[in-house]
Structure 1
Amino acid sequence: MDTIRVAVIGTGIIGQTLAARFVQAGHIVTMGTRNPQRDDLVELARRAGASLTSIEDAIHSAEAVVWAINGSAMADAIPAYGQHLADKVVIDATNNIGAPSMNSLALITEYAPTAHAYRAFNSLGWENFANPRYGELNGDLLYTGPTGPTQAVAENLIESTGLRPIRVGDNDKAKIVDDFVALWFSLAIGQGMGRELGFKILTR
């Protein structure tokens, strides 16, 4: 895989796990936070093998930006940092539960119209990124976004977690990916199948 300079925005369990997996795959990872001087966050980034800095500086140094913050915070974050996202691969991994749209792709398009936006890493629990194996199989990850050279960047990052990328279509199909969030919670939590539940797309 080609080495990618990645900014992971967010220091929660999803951000931590993705950052660590990207580092393990050989990418250069910077975690962005509003509080880069906090000792606990510095240690968290160190354990992941990533550097830690401000959100603006993390974005500035990156080719690809993965948003892994609370979904409801995207309404403030994207307008604030949108100008720094120009021409970058931007992956929305957030879920704004209860909002009319679970994803923030429209915000990204509005405030960073030249960014290459993708919807990914939102339909599974962090456990699936930490360990994608299910017996003899690796799980799949559904995503949406444009084709072309930037698609290879998005798929590279998905493959860095060990999951197989499955493109559902352009971002007008993002709700299909978002619907898998509800399915995941219904099976993993509602039906007691456990948080390590994953998905596999099979064809003949």
Structure 2
Amino acid sequence: MSDNGIGTDNGIGTTAVIGTGNIGGTLGRAFARAGHAVVFGSRNPGASDAAGDTGAKVATVAEAVAAADTVVLAIPAGDVEAFLRTHAEALAGKLIVDAANRFPQPVLHSADLVRALAPEARYARAFNNQTWETYADPLWDGKPGNLFYTVFEQSDAPTVEALISAVGHVPTFVGLGRPDLLDAAIFLLLPSFGTLGRRTGIRIVHD
């Protein structure tokens, strides 16, 4: 785990959030408020207020990747390939959590791109099938919703679960190496965002 002076790490090291828009900003602030060490990667860090009052750092994308153990991709999907090509060497040994959706492509995840362009990185898929509004306000009638995720290495599951829990959702594992199921979840929910509102989520109930 990185030892870089960016707050505490809650056992999962430093998390870089690449992207400071609605998704990235909301996720990174939630991670930091939960006590995780967070650094935002921004094209213009001097002008970014993504960290707010959370104590998270804002740095260049290269600096954020270098500092991180886990890298959450919250950038437009069209930028993912260039990001991977530019930072492939620095991503070696790190966990990439893919939150981007490659609309209008039928395959929304970037698992194959990561495998091809940053083969020494590890891959997980999460945070792609909800809106930023549900990350900012994760409770319905006082109860959290479920957020699906997949990893390719079981040892990465605790890190992803810690980040999902930090946002206030219930981590829900769909199996090893199943980013296709995460794609299916967003396709399932998309019509409801228009008819029921953007704070539409999934809650699994059981005895």
- The match for 1:176 is 181
| TM-score computed with the length of structure 1 as normaliser | 0.91
* Rounded Cα–Cα distance in structure 2 between residues aligned with 1:108 and 1:180: 21
How far is 1:202 from its partner?
A: 2.8
* Rounded Cα–Cα distance in structure 2 between residues aligned with 1:94 and 1:151: 19
Please tell me whether residue 17 in structure 1 is matched to residue 26 in structure 2.
Answer: yes
Please tell me whether residue 194 in structure 1 is matched to residue 197 in structure 2.
Answer: yes
* Rounded Cα–Cα distance in structure 2 between residues aligned with 1:188 and 1:148: 32
* Rounded Cα–Cα distance in structure 1 between residues aligned with 2:199 and 2:100: 19
The runs of at least 4 consecutive aligned structure 1 residues that moved more than 4 Å come to none
Counterparts of residues 1-204 of structure 1 (less than 5 Å): 1-2=10-11, 4-37=13-46, 39=47, 41=48, 43-171=49-177, 173-189=178-194, 192-204=195-207
SS state at 1:182 partner? helix
5+ unaligned residues in a row in structure 2: which ranges? 1-9
How far is 1:147 from its partner?
A: 4.1
Would the aligned equivalents of 1:22 and 1:160 in 2 still touch at CA under 8 Å? Answer: yes
For these two proteins, the number of residue pairs brought into alignment is 198
Comparing 78-87 and 12-21, the one that deviates more = 78-87
Cα deviations by residue, 1:82-127 (Å, 9 ceiling, x for unpaired): 2211111110000110124211111111222232210000000011
How far is 1:50 from its partner?
A: 1.9
Would the aligned equivalents of 1:36 and 1:53 in 2 still touch at CA under 8 Å? Answer: yes
* Rounded Cα–Cα distance in structure 1 between residues aligned with 2:105 and 2:53: 34
How far is 1:45 from its partner?
A: 2.7
Residue 87 of structure 2 aligns with an amino acid whose one-letter code is: Y
Cα distance change, pair 3–113 in 1 and its aligned pair in 2 (3 A)? closer
SS state at 1:45 partner? coil
Cα deviations by residue, 1:10-65 (Å, 9 ceiling, x for unpaired): 0110000001100110011110022223x2x1x23344532111111101111110
How far is 1:182 from its partner?
A: 1.9
How far is 1:3 from its partner?
A: 5.3
* Rounded Cα–Cα distance in structure 2 between residues aligned with 1:179 and 1:48: 33
Would the aligned equivalents of 1:19 and 1:48 in 2 still touch at CA under 8 Å? Answer: no
Give the % identical residues.
Answer: 33
Comparing 111-120 and 51-60, the one that deviates more = 111-120
* Rounded Cα–Cα distance in structure 1 between residues aligned with 2:174 and 2:19: 26
* Rounded Cα–Cα distance in structure 1 between residues aligned with 2:189 and 2:54: 26
Would the aligned equivalents of 2:12 and 2:159 in 1 still touch at CA under 8 Å? Answer: no
5+ unaligned residues in a row in structure 1: which ranges? none
| TM-score computed with the length of structure 2 as normaliser | 0.89
